[in-house]
Amino acid sequence: MALWMETGSEPNTQSEIADLDAITALKESAALELKEKGNQYVKLGKKHYADAIDCYTKAINQKALSDPENSVIYANRAHVNLLLGNYRRALMDAQEAIKLCPTNVKAFYRAVKASLSLDLLGEAKSYCENGLERDPNNEELKKLARQIDAQNSEREHHEAQVSKAVATAKHLVSAIENRGLKIGKAVFQELTGLRKPILDTNNILHWPVLLLYAEVMSSDFIEDFCETDIFSAHLDIMFSESCPPLPWDKENNYTREAVELYYEAGSGVCLPKAKFLSYLLEGTVGSHVESIGDEEKDVIECSLDVTSAGKGSSKWVKVNEKRTLNDVLKEPNLMIPGIPVFYVVSKRSSFYKEFRDGKWSLPS
């Protein structure tokens, strides 16, 4: 009997040939029955999708059908995998269906759908074009072609915006480095938010500057402090007679003639360029860029001179109001913690002596 024949041997008698034909017919019939059973399971809904896949797999494993027939089953299994969200498996099934029958337009359609779900726009476009070559009037493929074009345009636009954001950030890093400024880890981000410096078309830096009233740890902001501005110009506006007193300043100590500005000397460690770039890109379309470039891995040249702090204090240095912001930021003992931070104190306040004597420190 043919059932007892060794693998690879040929039938020698009419009886063996008849047996083999009968076995082949049974396997073919079983495969077709499994295929139809799988189709019925699909119609029954999501709860039966796993059963459908099982039937299609068993039908394929019969190895009794022609390539075009197996192509249909692979395409059907791809369809169910798409419904289940198994996009990689769906793509593999669609590819096998196309390999078995290059005219199977449904297989191309499902390869496009799976590729789109996997964000493989190049592959999706290729499968779509090949499918339309075989069926130019296929409306579903035409619709997918329009979707692919729209997503490609959107991606190109996004990539252009990311490139622009990264280029702007790199240009800003170069401008800061060329000025000899030292950038450390950002602090007080709960107060500063996503505020960052900008470089205008005249290559002038504009900084957001945080002012902290050390006595009460209240804060204020100068949103646009041009690097060429002197401090007194901004203080004249902030503490002019037309401005209301600070709500917590009950004794009216913080007046124009009484306030002084200080910075913290020799505090922090310089950021590597890559980390500074990432900081500048926060809140932009480039915030998720993973690789910025090997040339950005270096640390911005940075050397703090902690010996140049003002007299009477090893930590707090008084700002000369007649100097520009850039001149002060270039001080050898000043580290910019993301954006410039200056401390406001009043000569009239009882707190002033404690601060000047170096007995006050930032709350932990």
Domains of the chain: 14-152 (1.25.40.10), 180-290+312-357 (3.10.20.90)
Sequence-distant contacts of 206-210: CB under 8 A, at least 24 apart: 207/325, 207/329, 207/339, 207/340, 208/339, 209/325, 209/339, 209/340, 209/341, 209/342, 210/339, 210/340, 210/341, 210/342
The residues, ordered by sequence, that sit 6+ positions from 304 with a Cβ below 8 Å of its Cβ are 182, 266, 332, 333, 335
Cα distance between residue 71 and residue 69, in whole Å? 5
Cα distance between residue 173 and residue 9, in whole Å? 76
Cα distance between residue 220 and residue 227, in whole Å? 18
Structure tokens at 301: 């040249």
- Supply the mean pLDDT for the chain: 90
pLDDT at res. 358: 87
Structure tokens at 245: 């007193």
CA dihedral 274, 279, 283, 288 (to 10 degrees): 30
pLDDT at res. 230: 98
Is the per-residue pLDDT at 231 higher than 50?
A: yes
Structure tokens at 51: 């059963």
pLDDT in tens, 7-30: 555 656 776 666 666 667 788 899
Q: Which residue has the tokens 């913290």?
A: 264
Look at residues 179, 229, 178, 183 and name the one whose alpha carbon lies nearest to residue 334.
Answer: 183
Task: Name residue 289's amino acid.
Answer: V
Cα distance between residue 232 and residue 323, in whole Å? 8
Cα distance between residue 37 and residue 73, in whole Å? 12
Is the per-residue pLDDT at 97 higher than 80?
A: yes
The residues, ordered by sequence, that sit 6+ positions from 329 with a Cβ below 8 Å of its Cβ are 179, 181, 207, 227, 336, 340
pLDDT in tens, 298-357: 555 555 554 444 444 458 999 999 999 999 999 999 999 999 999 999 999 999 999 998
Query: Would the pTM count as exceeding 0.95?
Result: no
pLDDT in tens, 201-213: 999 999 999 999 9
pLDDT in tens, 238-295: 999 888 889 999 999 999 999 999 999 987 788 899 999 999 999 999 988 876 655 5
Other CB atoms within 10 Å distance of the CB of residue 322: 10
Cα distance between residue 259 and residue 22, in whole Å? 103
Whole-angstrom CA distances from 272 to 25, 187, 198, 282, 295 are: 72, 16, 19, 16, 11
Cα distance between residue 14 and residue 18, in whole Å? 6
What is the DSSP code (8-state) at residue 294? G
